[in-house]
Structure 1
Amino acid sequence: MLQAKPDDIERDVTIHTINGSECVDIERYDYLMLRGYTMNTNAQINAYRRDHVSCKRDQISDTSKAKRYQHLQKIPPKLDIPVGLLIGADHPEILQPLETRPAPSGSTGLPFRVRTLFGWTMGGGPSSNQKPGKYVFRTETTTARINLLEQNFKDTSNDQQYISQDDLKFLEIMRTEITHNRNRNYVIPLPFKNEADLPYNRLQAESRLRGLVKKFKAIPSYHAEYRKFMNKLIEQGHVEKVPLSSEPGKVWYIPHFSVRHKQKKKLRVVMDASARFNGVSLNDRLLSGLNHMNSLIGILMRFRQEPIAITCDIEQMFYNFKVKANHRDYLRFLWIDKTLTQIEEFRLNVHLFGDTSSPAVATFGLRKLADDHRTIHPAAASFLREEFYVNDGVTSFQTLEDAKGLIQGARAICTKGNIRLHKFISNNKEVLTSVPESERVESAQNLNLFKDQLPQKRTLGME
């Protein structure tokens, strides 16, 4: 048993074994010193501690039979102690063979001898209690089916997905380069696969803009809606005029177009990060990131567990996370003045609605905010981490006190990241009175909560 005090506790570490994957909190030990049992050698490693190690002694080669073979005479006996440490491939200096003694030429099925930094070991050959037979890696039973259903309540399914090298690179960029600005917003880089030079595509952006201008002239009401949206981006400081200087190859112009919400009928401008020029798009160069989005089924089923329901929304989810300054020239776009004659150049300073990395960046940023301020209100931090589907948060409670406390705690945490949590609605009038009127859903802002009936609201596609 390791008696040292851990240097840190890492949260939500995904561990993969042949039996599957699990996401756990795990103790980390830095600069742990190992010493050889039979040799006067040592090595320094970083290690993680768990309550048990998934390794059986009968899976280790039976060294008691080594004396039968001339080439295995230096193998020490297997110690009668439990397995306490697994050394992984991230420490090749410990595992690399310094000397080998193969089985005699022409023999088959015989073990071999390898000397590492810590002495001689035996590889291959039968283990202590190994018997011939067939091995089943997975069976499905009634219990397995139940566990599968429970995943929707515990939200472990997304943590058990395969993690690629691109996913690991994305997480490394997020964890090492995230910072704050003076307004408390998180500043996060664009997660590039690589920052190789991009072709100069301004002509493509001009062509797309000319097409928009034609439509503006033909449909003035469409022009008014489009301009209203763009003006709001400018007024809120999400975009800025392009500076005079720029680095060649580090500039990209994003065409844009509009979509209209089916229910709300509102127009939204989308930056077309998938637009290709010379066979390249911005999205091609960006890492999409690990899908850490919470299970929609799990969120909705937990939402129905308790009698007091609450829903809310994060205002402009993606725009809450700023882009690192030296990446903003990749987010240039062209716009037209009111007279529809003069082209203007802008660039976004926020993560945009339309690029492949924004959902993962925003999810990471929200969870980072919750973790950084967990001490303010642990239950509210868990709500922000586990009960949000993109920008929509839903949950339910048994008591009025818990419901009110969570609203207060969640709003306090979001304020720390300059994020507005609003559009609150509840099926309980007393809970709703604890929310400032300006932060309630619009249909509940001018209600007499003592007389009027509470409005209905669609939540995650359900009403």
Structure 2
Amino acid sequence: MADPYFHQRNQIDILLETVEVWKILLLKRQTIDHMVLQRTKLGFIITGGLNLKANNRLISCTSIDTQLERFWVMVEQLEREENLSGEDKRCEELFSRDCKRSENGRLIVSLPKREIISLGNLKQGAEQRFYNMENKLNKNENMKKHYTQFMQEYENLNHMTEVNKDEMTDNGFYLPHHPVLKQDSMTTKLRVVFDGSFKSSNGLSINDNLLMGPNIQNELLDIIIRFRTYPYVLTADLGMMYR
């Protein structure tokens, strides 16, 4: 039955309707009207023709060309419509204006402040949180050891510099911090959380004064399509992302 000369042009011997093809291929099948139903692991596959004699039915069909065109327009559309809010536009403007590279190649980006909120006093509350944490660390030598190592690494990487007491003012930005210890972690046993939601004397936090910015993550559809393009999938994480 198979054509041994399929690669050569020749006359077509016979054209079979889809339903007839499935009748030949499928020994166990269900037929309803002009349709053939075959159960698979993904559910029923349904094929068949149109009952042109059924004048009481209204049938609407969309061509496969139209469906494919809609699909690829959605996938390959490079310019997407961005409905950015006023704050999102402001955040992108600040990033474009303030982002720069230092002499050693590091990127420097300023915090995108709203410039409409006046923070109260953060120093007093941050100091109190620090003293409480210090007492807690003195009672747990293991946690104190990991916490000290973290802070030392933070300073060695120039992610923070020491400030003299005479340079400290009540109007500065002070971030309370505390350790979170996870003994079952395979990478970082201890991580330090900087509490940007800590409320100042007037009930506002540093986070209240920062713009979030638009969502710049890749669309889920784009990621799924890439899964079909290459034989291997790799995932990665950025170390020290939020420093």
Task: Give the TM-score normalised by the residue count of structure 1.
Answer: 0.33
* Matched ranges for 1:393-412 at <5 A: none
Say which of 146, 151, 159 aligns to 1:225: 146
Contact 2:179 2:192 (8 Å CA) reproduced: yes
Q: In 1, Cα distance between the equivalents of 2:68 and 2:154?
A: 48
Q: Per the alignment, do residues 197 and 147 of structure 1 end up closer, same or farther by CA in structure 2, a change over 3 Å counting?
A: same
Instruction: State the AA in 1 paired with 2:199.
Output: R
Structure 1 unaligned segments of length 5 or more: list them. Answer: 1-141, 320-463
1:149 deviates by: 9.2
The residue that corresponds to 2:45 in the other structure is none
Residue 155 of structure 1 contacts residue 295 of structure 1 at CA under 8 Å; is this kept in 2? no
Unaligned runs of at least 5 residues, structure 2: 1-63
Which amino acid is the alignment partner of residue 276 of structure 1?
K
User: In the TM superposition, what whole-angstrom CA distance separates every residue of 1:19-74 from its partner, at most 9, and x where no partner exists?
Assistant: xxxxxxxxxxxxxxxxxxxxxxxxxxxxxxxxxxxxxxxxxxxxxxxxxxxxxxxx
Equivalent in the alignment of 2:126: 205
Which of 204, 216, 237 is equivalent to 1:280?
204
Residue 204 of structure 2 aligns to a residue in which SS? coil
Question: Cα deviations across residues 220-249 of structure 1 (Å, max 9, x unaligned)?
Answer: 111112222121111111001125436763
CA pair 300-316 structure 1, distance change in 2 beyond 3 A: farther
Counterpart in 1 of 2:174? 253
Correspondent of 2:214 among 276, 280, 290: 290
Supply the AA of the counterpart residue of 2:87.
Answer: D
Give the conservation status (yes or no) of the 8 Å contact 2:92–2:213. Answer: yes
TM-score (normalizing by structure 2): 0.60
- For 1:170, the equivalent position in structure 2 comes to 91
Where do residues 363-442 of structure 1 align in structure 2 (5 Å cutoff)? none
User: In structure 1, what is the equivalent of residue 53 of structure 2?
Assistant: none
Hey, what does 1:302 align to over in structure 2? 226
Determine what percentage of the aligned residue pairs are the same residue: 27
Q: Distance in 1 between matches of 2:222 and 2:185?
A: 25
4+ long deviations beyond 6 Å: 142-146
Using the TM superposition, name which of 226-235 and 282-291 deviates more.
Answer: 226-235
Aligned residues: 175
For the residue of structure 1 that corresponds to 2:191, the secondary structure is: strand
Deviation at 1:144, TM superposition (A): 8.0
Larger Rg: 2
Deviation at 1:156, TM superposition (A): 7.0
Whether the 8 Å contact between 1:275 and 1:282 is mirrored in structure 2 is yes
**Which digits, 9 at most, give the CA deviation of each residue in 1:77-101, with x for residues without a partner?**
xxxxxxxxxxxxxxxxxxxxxxxxx
- Contact 1:173–1:191 (CA under 8 A) maintained in structure 2: yes
Cα distance per residue 1:117-165 (max 9 Å; x no partner)? xxxxxxxxxxxxxxxxxxxxxxxxx9689957975x55979x5453111
SS in 1 for 2:129: helix
The answer to whether the 8 Å contact 2:115/2:209 transfers is yes
- Corresponding residue for 1:214? 135
SS for the counterpart of 1:240 is coil
> Are residues 166 and 263 of structure 1, via their aligned partners in 2, closer, same or farther at CA, if it must alter by over 3 Å?
same
CA RMSD between the two structures? 3.3
For 1:238 and 1:276, the matched residues in 2 are separated by 24
Q: 1:148 to 1:270 in 2, by over 3 A?
A: farther
Please list, as runs of the form range in 1=range in 2, the aligned pairs for 1:33-432 lying within 5 A after superposition.
160=81, 162-194=83-115, 196-243=117-164, 244-245=166-167, 249=171, 251-259=172-180, 263-264=185-186, 266-277=189-200, 278-296=202-220, 298-319=222-243
Q: Which has the higher strand share?
A: 1
SS in 2 for 1:270: strand
**SS in structure 1 opposite 2:161?**
strand
Separation of aligned partners in 2, 1:233 and 1:295: 34
Partner SS state of residue 269, structure 1: strand
**C-alpha displacement at 1:259, in angstroms?**
3.5
**How many angstroms does 1:284 deviate by?**
0.2
For residues 210 and 247 of structure 1, the distance between their equivalents in structure 2, rounded to whole angstroms, comes to 18
Letter of the structure 2 residue corresponding to residue 194 of structure 1: E
CA contact (8 A) 1:257 1:269 kept: yes
Shift of 1:208: 1.3
Q: Helix, strand or coil: the match of 1:241? A: coil
SS of the residue 1:268 aligns to: strand
Relative distance call for 1:164 and 1:279 in structure 2 (3 A) is same
Q: 1:198, CA displacement in angstroms?
A: 2.2
